């Protein structure tokens, strides 16, 4: 009789561990998928940057330093791990703001149809990136909650699941509302 009880308890514990482990794996994969989604949108934005730079270059030949900096950031952003990608993405956002400040100096550029089309596409891309950031952060929150809540935290610790970083804005400059007039 005692043997059956012990076996029953062990089976229940094994099922609990299996369920918990699978749940953590599923959530970790959801986070990876969310980051991958955000990465796809960032890649689309990176692909738009050379076109935007070329259109602006035609009008702003002496602003090449700003434009080269944006292009170099674009290359650097595609290298590295999760933390590097998030940091690079924030810097690219700042660099794009610099381009739009350059545009302010050239009224003809603001009326250029190629530039207006690129600006519209970039604006839509920024909305998609913002949505994907929210999705990523929601997935990370759900995963981190599980990793920190009992009894999941016991299994997470046993199998090496650790809390993942949220996408967040770290600089006060990034938190400011920017008024870009084109």
The CATH number of the domain holding residue 125 is 1.20.1440.20
pLDDT, tens digit, for every residue of 91-121?
A: 777 666 666 666 666 666 555 676 677 777 8
Cα 4 to Cα 6: distance, rounded to the nearest angstrom: 5
Task: Tell me whether residue 50 is in a domain.
Answer: yes
Task: Tell me whether residue 174 is in a domain.
Answer: no
Whose tokens are 């003809």? That residue is 108
In the predicted structure, residue 52 carries a pLDDT above the cut 60: yes
Confidence of residue 176 (pLDDT cuts 50, 70, 90): very low
In the predicted structure, residue 146 carries a pLDDT above the cut 80: yes
Q: How many domains does the chain have?
A: 1
Share of residues in the chain with pLDDT > 90 (%): 24
Task: Tell me whether residue 21 is in a domain.
Answer: yes
For residue 174, what pLDDT is reported? 47
CB proximity list for 60: less than 8 A, separation 6 or greater: 67, 102, 103, 105, 106, 109
Whose tokens are 């918990």? That residue is 20
Task: Tell me whether residue 169 is in a domain.
Answer: no
Q: Domain of 33?
A: 14-164
Cα 51 to Cα 57: distance, rounded to the nearest angstrom: 10
Task: Tell me whether residue 115 is in a domain.
Answer: yes
Task: Tell me whether residue 1 is in a domain.
Answer: no
Task: Tell me whether residue 29 is in a domain.
Answer: yes
Task: Tell me whether residue 3 is in a domain.
Answer: no
Whose tokens are 């590295």? That residue is 80
Contact (Cβ atoms closer than 8 angstroms) between residue 144 and residue 165: no
Give the count of beta carbons closer than 10 Å to the beta carbon of residue 57: 14
């Amino acid at each position: 009789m005692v043997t059956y009880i012990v076996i029953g308890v062990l089976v229940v514990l094994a099922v609990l561990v299996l369920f918990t482990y699978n749940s953590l794996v599923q959530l970790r994969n959801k986070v990876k998928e969310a980051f991958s989604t955000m990465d796809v949108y960032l890649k689309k934005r990176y692909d738009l940057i050379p076109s935007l730079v070329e259109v602006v270059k035609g009008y702003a030949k002496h602003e090449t330093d700003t434009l080269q900096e944006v292009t170099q950031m674009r290359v650097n952003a595609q290298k590295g791990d999760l933390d590097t990608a998030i940091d690079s993405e924030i810097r690219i956002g700042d660099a794009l703001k610099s381009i739009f400040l350059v545009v302010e100096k050239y009224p003809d550029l603001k009326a250029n149809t190629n530039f207006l089309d690129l600006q519209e596409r970039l604006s839509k891309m920024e909305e998609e990136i913002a949505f994907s950031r929210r999705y990523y952060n929601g997935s990370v929150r759900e995963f981190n909650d599980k990793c920190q809540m009992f009894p999941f935290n016991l299994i997470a610790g046993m199998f090496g699941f650790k809390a993942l970083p949220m996408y967040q804005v770290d600089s006060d400059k990034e938190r400011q509302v920017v008024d870009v007039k084109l």
